[in-house]
Each structure stands twice: as structure tokens, then as C-alpha cells.
A and B are shown apart, each in its own frame.
Chain A
Amino acid sequence: MIRSDAPILLEIRDLHARVEDQPILRGVNLTLRAGEIHAVMGRNGSGKSTLSKVLAGHPAYTVTSGSVLYRGADLLALEPEQRARIGLFLGFQYPVEIPGVSNLEFLRVATNARRQEQGLEELDTFAFDDLVQERLRVVQMDPAFLERSVNQGFSGGEKKRNEILQMALLEPLVAILDETDSGLDIDALRIVAGGVNQLAGPDTSTLLITHYQRLLDAIVPDFVHVMAAGRILRTGGKDLALELEERGYDWVDAELAQPLAGAEVG
């Protein structure tokens, strides 16, 4: 849903970032307004995950120039946990396994950290149990997963569902989902997409990173961006994704060969 008067939630301006000595992001510009769903596509290695991790504050990446405003305030100055508490969520492409740390306990601590920031009361174990049971339904996940260690031994698809469960608990304002569709079977894809749609609303914004049209059939984006060599090369509507599906990314090379062409809106 595009409303040009909707408040801006996230504004990325000319963002450059590197890992070790290697520049990866080379001038990303992107604005997310409340109510919008954006999709970012692009070849493997084009920098999509890097962008998402820079936004979440991963310590391995260094921002060399540019800025990111989250609801008007400097996001890059914040610790990763603070970003999460104020409503930025990243669903990881590769969620890590954390042996020994109970999933349930982890979810409760995280949820309460977010609630505290929102000025809501902390949930005790019982109240939290109720909440979790309810949110589990959103992703149709077996409660048995709560008893296990965080992501440990989860299958690829189970990890992704666990990510969406976290999103459902943390109720973010800006959700970045990095290839949440990969590794999901057909039913799971429908469930996850349903969950995302359910959680998206007029006050939130979602950034989907994906390679496949089938996710965008289920979650219809307002904007589609193509990323290449660390910046957004082109932006369009949902048809751009269909075009990409047909043409692939070869045209990207031609475009990259030219000096910085302004992103055309198609």
C-alpha cells in the first residue's frame, strides 16, 4: 500500500560499507514508508545480505560513508540490541545455532526486552507461555521446538519458521526478511507468507530479499529493487520482478558498464 504522505520509517542514503578491506556496499539509496512492502532482488553476491546485516548492526561490517535514519533518528549509532528493541527486525538468511540456550527462554528474554522499550509490562513465564502458544499458530510450528536449543538441529525450513515466530513476538515496525523463502516447502511457504501478510500493516514496513517470484505472488510488493555490485541499480513495481524472472540478470552487466545511470522507475 503506497501512500506518499505516510511517515518515513527507514531512510538509507548513499550507504557505503566494507568488510575487512573489501568494499561491498557502494552507495545504497532506499526509503521505506509505513505501509509499504519492498522487495530486493539481485544476483548472488550483489550485497543484499550485507545491506541487511549493516542495517541490523553486524560488527563485521564497517560503514564507510552515508547514513541511515530510522524514524528520523540515526540508526547506525545504535547497538544491535537497541535497534531490535526499537522495532527493527532482521530475519537471517542463515540463522545460527546456539547450543545450550533454550529457545523458549531466548524468545521470552527478547520479547521482554522489546516490551520494556515499548513501555509495556514484562511478561512472566505464564503470560509469555500464552503469548507464544498464540503466535506459534501464526507459523503453525510444533511447540516441541520451544524446548530445544536455539535453532540447534533445526532443518532449514524449521529455522526460517523460527525466525518468523520471533518476528511475530517482537512485532517490529521494519522487518527485513533475508531469503526467508529459501528452504521452505510449498506449504511452509504459504504459511510463512500468510504470517508476514498478517503482521504487515499500515504502520509497518517490510523489506523482502528474495530470488523467486513465487514469494512475491504470495506477498505482493509495492516496489521491487534490483541490487548489483553494492547498489540499487533499478527500482520498479511488482512487474519488474516478473521481467527479471523472464530475462534474468544479464542486462545488469550492460547497465553496470555505463556510468551511474539514475534509477528509472518502470
Chain B
Amino acid sequence: MTAMGTPVAVASSDPWSQALLSSLAPAAGPLEAVQRRGRAGLTHQAMPSRRAEAWRFTDTAVIQAIAPQLLQPAPEALPACGEGVWRLRLDGGEEALADQAWPAGLTPLPGPDLELALGQTLADTGGREHWPVLLNKATAPRVLALRVRGEVAPTLELVSEAGAGPGVLPVRVLLLLEEQARLTVLQVHRSGGANLTSVVVEARLGRGAHLSHGVLAQGHPEAALLAHLAVVQHPDSNFDQVSTAAGWGLVRVEPRVLQSEGSAATSLLGLQAVRGQQLADTHSQVRFGGPDGTLEQGHRAIADGAGRSVFNGAVQVPQAAQRTNASQLSRNLLLSDRARIDTKPELEIVADDVRCAHGATVSRLQQDELFYLQSRGIGVDQAARLLLRGFCAEVLAALPAAAAPWQPLEHLLDQEETGDPEGTGDQEETGR
């Protein structure tokens, strides 16, 4: 019973999607066929509502307040890019992707190969008809599709900067890692206004391949981010994801990983922070298609103001997946009495020789830790800040080094300091 796989049972579209569809130019360009399919999908499937189990806690009001049109890119200045980093902007015009001198090991996927590969990973992980994916298909004019061979030296930095303008910014990426290939990717999503960044990333890891995938998402209280990530891992491959998101009115991160034959290593680290009226939601799904796979998952959330954090972590260990070793830990800090945390691990196990442990904690900052710092002369605010920093540090430290110029910690903690809009937190009662 995977709630995530269930399409939303509404037969027709919603006004927002309709308005978006009618604002779009006719399908054209390299993804013309994909656009058609996505648009057809959107006319049959409405934006998910809280009636659907997988969206029960995820209010899409923020999206509905965003102008239903494509975002006109107005590139803003970015921080200087670090050493050993190869930056690519995925928000600009066509020229951004054209005729790059690619670093050794990266080659753009030629048309016919692209046609074969695009969407396959989504299908394997069950996300093809998922609304956020349809939205991306309907709108994305292009895809960054790369074949990866051998060890790629520079970190590939993929930036989408939505700026303050209105509308939808689609980003689509496909990465095919051949056997033994190694690649580090840092995706940066930024927004400064009422817009929606729609991201779909597909990655296939051949035998022995290694993909480190960092996501740094720095948002705006009126902005939304829907990031869907589909990964298929072949044996002996490694997939490490580190994802941090803060500042978004609505952010939903959906990593879905399939270890096609098991025997691979998956690591998912996540950190999300909410305040004000923000909502952050991580829905992850890891499935072991064969024996000897490992998963290490750590998810952390900080909820302040009237913010809301949701975590739903599905781990599926079917009978074929003997000797799976999976652990999942969800740690949550609830800092305000108007904030909310919902966390729900979902473990489904049909193999006897497995080690699966999971845990969850929800609390405020530890009183005795605060007290210890205070007793050494540190003021309570600073002590709290130190502890928060510690809470975030473990995840942030795992981000690719290329993240440094973006000042991830400062961004997170600033989020924590830009005064909570008191009074706006109209206490919505919990319905149950």
C-alpha cells in the first residue's frame, strides 16, 4: 500500500492548472512530445489536495497564489563560483545550454539516446504520472541530459535562480552514469519572490558508479519548490544525497530510489527549516530490488513560527532483498508552540535476514545542553544558536564543497532570525 504511488483520484483539472495550460505557447522544441504528454496529463489530473493521503499535510495554497504562467528569466548576479566547480545555469534562455565546452567525462546525450532514456527512471520508480512531474513535463522547454564516463574532476554546479518575477520555472535534468563513473553535482535553487520552481531529476547509476548529489534550496516565503528526484542504482553503485531547504513558502522534496538488484549503497541526508507560515515536506521512498543493499537515511527538521514540517520515509524490503541493512532516523526540533511536526516512517519488510532500524524524535532544544552552555557564561540566545548550528552542521558538512560560496549555514540561521511575523499565525485547528 504505497500511498505515494497512488494517482490523485480526481478526473479533471483544477483552475490554476487550466490557467497555466492556456498561457503556454503550443508544444514545440526538443521536448515537444514530452510537453504534449505532460499537458494531457494535467488536463486529467488536478493539483493534489489534502484529501490524498500523500498530500494530507501539504497545503498547496502557496502554489495557487503564484501566477499561472511561465517565468520570464531575468538572471541575477550569483556569488563567485568556487575552485574546481563547473557552473551551469538552468534558468536562462536556450543559449545557456548550447555549445558548452564540457569537462572531460561529460557528454550531452544525442537526440535518439535521449528519447530512449528520458522518463525511464521516472517510470521505474513509479513517479511518471505524479502531478509535480506532469507539471514539469508540461512546462520544461529543454532538458540537461548528460552521459557520464570515468571520474569527472570538477563539481557540476547546476543553478536555477528564479529571482523575484512571477510564474513557473521548470528545470529538468537527466544523468546517465556509466560503469565506474564518478560525479559530484550541486544543485542550487534560489528564489526571491512569488514563483514556483519545478524540478525533475533522473539519474541512473551503472555498476560501481558513484554520484554525490547536493541540493541547496534557498527560498522566499511566497515561493514554492517541487523537487522530484528519481534514481535507479545498479549493483555496487553509491548514491549520496544531501539536501537542505529553507525559506520556502512551500517546498516538497521527493527522492525516490530503486536499487534495481540490491547490492548498492544509498545515503540520504536531509535538512529542512520552516518558520512564519512556511511548509517543508520530504517524501522519500527507497526500494530494494535485490539482496545486500544498504540505506542510511538521516532527516532533520527545524520548525519555528507557525511553520510546519512533514517527513514521510518509506523503505521497502521485499522478499528478494535478503541481508538488507537499512537505518532511518528522523530528528525534529520544534521551537515554537505554533509550529508543527509530522513525521512518519513507513517500513515494509518481507525478508527475514535484514537489519532495519528506525527512530524519530521530536523535542525542543535540550534543556540540559542549553543549561550547560549557560553555566559557562553564554547567553541563552547565543546558546540556542550554537545548538541549532550544531544540529544543522552535520548535514551541511556533507554538502559538496562547492556549496560554501552560497553560505548555507548563514542562510539557514538568518532564516531563523528574521523575526517571526507575530500575529499572522491564525491558529488553524487540527482536524483529525
A touches B in complex, CB < 8 A: no
Measuring CB to CB, which residues of chain A are less than 8 angstroms from any residue of chain B?
A: none
Interface residues of chain B, those whose CB is within 8 Å of chain A, are none
